Amino acid sequence: MTAVLDRPQPRPGVLAIDPYVPGKSGAPGVAKVWKLSSNETPLGASPKAIEAFKSIADKLELYPDGSSTALRDAIAGKFGLDPARIVCGSGSDEILSLLTAAYVGPGDEGVFTTHGFLVYKLAILAAGGTPVVAPEKNLTADVDAILAAVTPRTKIVFLANPNNPTGTYLPFEEVKRLHAGLPKTVLLVLDAAYAEYVRRNDYASGIELVSTSENVVMTRTFSKIYGLAMLRLGWCYAPAHVADALNRIRGPFNVNGPALAAGVAALADEAHVAAAVAHNEEWLPRLAAEIGALGLEIVPSVGNFLLIRFPSTPGRTAKEADAFLTARGLVLRGVGAYGLPDCLRLTVGPAEANRLVIEALTEFMRGRHG
């Protein structure tokens, strides 16, 4: 891109960043659309969270609590944490960006895996750092490859666990091995956005590791199982010195009041979360089995979504499947930006949408493209 020299210029590197493109939301000309592209919960937000949100409507002229005190206390109470080591943000995306801004600068490196969340690369580039990609093994983070990618310039390592868009995860013993192999000056960020969905005995979100380390942060979100994606609410648990750094650079009122109120109520509604887990436990394996039976490759997932790999055969490709499904109001996520052009990501949706996806993919794979 040729610079226009008679107007302000972004610093070098900013215009080289590819903007994040979210999953599509609609299907033009289709009466009923099922959005299965953004890993949103099919159960919606807790009724208690909705009521708490509405209760703030007559206070919109007031600034929110700049310290997110009630929410931090609620999180601390639920997970047995020190509220002083919790920092809340406008989605976990903001927390990831704040961490990068605090610890990465020009000449520094940040490491993430091949199919890791796109925001990691964006945050590193935005901070003026250099992204370093560690190869995966079978679409799963590889501890040895991550450690091999670390250099004296490395300041931060991102690990999505479980990972989006693959749905794969590292057992806690492997996460601890990764941490043990990192220099003490490198910050390990464990992005546990989908932790509530995982039902594996060898998995842990990272709370224990943060509690016993000076260079580990765990990030979480209210956008997935809690159903508050529109409000943008996330948090992290960090060593005290990291929390102090984040609190120095975050906006003074970076979380809005309705989000804070809804977050507190959502945490308290354990029955709603349990229902979301039960729905996922029913449909995740069923979708994997029935779609896999069509001859499509399904990546084993512990989240609330499946990565489906399509063949390169004309008439059976991911691009053609996407168009076929979209025409029927079934909106999945193309993941070419993640280096997976032959795949689509399917969010576990409501029962009706899940059945429709199975029926549509059955029709697609049988070649009836009318």
Residues 316 and 175 in one domain: no
Residue that terminates a domain, selected from 217, 233, 268: 268
Amino acid 368: pLDDT: 56
Residues of the chain with pLDDT under 50: 370
- For residue 104, what are its two tokens? 């990465």
Residues 83 and 180 in one domain: yes
How far apart are alpha carbons 195 and 203 in whole angstroms?
9
CATH number at residue 89: 3.40.640.10
Domain-embedded: residue 5:
no
CATH number at residue 326: 3.90.1150.10
Nearest to 219 by CA among 182, 253, 251, 246: 246
User: Contact at 8 Å (CB) between 343 and 317?
Assistant: no
Domain-embedded: residue 251:
yes
pLDDT tens profile 90-112: 999 999 999 999 999 999 999 99
Residues 187 and 309 in one domain: no
Amino acid 1: pLDDT: 53
User: Contact at 8 Å (CB) between 328 and 369?
Assistant: no
Residues 220 and 277 in one domain: no
Residues 278 and 221 in one domain: no
Beta strands at 187-191 and 234-237: parallel, antiparallel or unpaired: unpaired
Amino acid 245: pLDDT: 98
Domain-embedded: residue 233:
yes
Amino acid 370: pLDDT: 45
Residue that terminates a domain, selected from 268, 284, 314: 268
Amino acid 2: pLDDT: 60
- The total of structural domains in the chain comes to 2
What's the pTM value of the predicted model, to 2 decimals? 0.94
Residue 36 belongs to domain spanning: 23-44+271-365
Chain mean position to CA 308: 18
Residues 28 and 56 in one domain: no
How far apart are alpha carbons 244 and 102 in whole angstroms?
10
Domain-embedded: residue 59:
yes
Kindly give, in sequence order, each residue whose CB lies less than 8 Å from that of residue 212, ignoring residues fewer than 6 positions away.
none
Domain-embedded: residue 63:
yes
Amino acid 231: pLDDT: 98
Domain-embedded: residue 17:
no
Domain-embedded: residue 78:
yes
Residues 203 and 348 in one domain: no
User: Contact at 8 Å (CB) between 272 and 42?
Assistant: no
Residues 232 and 307 in one domain: no
Residue that terminates a domain, selected from 244, 268, 292: 268
Residues 309 and 325 in one domain: yes
Residues 196 and 98 in one domain: yes
Residues 195 and 320 in one domain: no
Amino acid identity of 40? E
How far apart are alpha carbons 345 and 361 in whole angstroms?
13
User: Contact at 8 Å (CB) between 200 and 300?
Assistant: no
Residues 280 and 246 in one domain: no
